[in-house]
Structure 1
Amino acid sequence: MSSAQWNAGQAHGEAQAKTEEWVKSAQNTANKACDKMADSRESAQHGKEQSAGFIQQGAIDGVKNTLGINEKK
């Protein structure tokens, strides 16, 4: 094998290793982004549930006040 062939083979191997490294890095970045989206979605759902409970309680209190049966003095 000539020196040029050996150098070409070495360069090819290094390029392939670098490509695999980039692919793994991109996969890790994509996985982190997916995890953050899932966390954000869970947080938004929790906030939505809390808001709904607050609004419902306010509506119940409003009806009780209107009817004069609210226990708050």
Structure 2
Amino acid sequence: MASRETKGQAEEKANQTMGATREKAEAVKDKTQETAEGAKGITSRAAQSVKESKDQTGSYLSEKTGAAKEKASEAAESAKPKDQAGKEKSAGILQQTGERVKNMAQSATDAVKNTVGMGKDGE
């Protein structure tokens, strides 16, 4: 009979140990699930924060790019009158230079003609 009592006690102890192990396993499972849900929430908030930051950066860059384009356009517009004036001045200088070269060439031609006796003065 002692053997049956010992066997019964051993079975009861095993059942108690199994029950305690199941309870601990359930607690670990619950804690793991809570941790996973918490991590999921943190990850979701971080992703949202990154998206918002990206949107803000995109808006900022777009705004700055637009401002730079506008300034470049204004600079190009303000340079047009100066460019036109420069072209006109250059054209005037080239015309004057051309006239001077023409006059010098004519004078040289006249001098050669006069030297060889073909000029108007020599006739």
The answer to whether structure 1 residue 60 and structure 2 residue 64 are counterparts is no
Q: What is the Cα deviation at residue 48 of structure 1? A: 0.9
For 2:28 and 2:73, locate their aligned partners in 1 and report how far apart those are by CA, in whole Å: 67
Return the index of the structure with the highest Cα Rg: 2
Q: What is the Cα deviation at residue 42 of structure 1? A: 0.4
Residue 39 of structure 1 corresponds to 52
TM-score by length of 1: 0.87
For 1:4 and 1:53, locate their aligned partners in 2 and report how far apart those are by CA, in whole Å: 73
Could you list the per-position Cα deviations for residues 11-65 of structure 1 after superposition, in whole angstroms to 9, with x for gaps in the alignment? 0000000000010011111101110110011001101110111001100110111
Q: Which runs of 5+ in 2 are unaligned?
A: 1-11, 82-123
The answer to whether structure 1 residue 10 and structure 2 residue 27 are counterparts is no
CA RMSD of aligned residues (A): 1.1
Q: Which runs of 5+ in 1 are unaligned?
A: 69-73
Identity level (%): 12
Using CA pairs below 8 Å that are at least 6 residues apart, which structure has the higher relative contact order? 1
Q: What is the Cα deviation at residue 67 of structure 1? A: 1.4
TM-score by length of 2: 0.53
Higher helix proportion (structure 1 or 2): 2
**Runs of 4 or more above 4 Å deviation:** none
User: How many residues in Structure 1 have an aligned counterpart in Structure 2?
Assistant: 68
For 1:38 and 1:51, locate their aligned partners in 2 and report how far apart those are by CA, in whole Å: 20
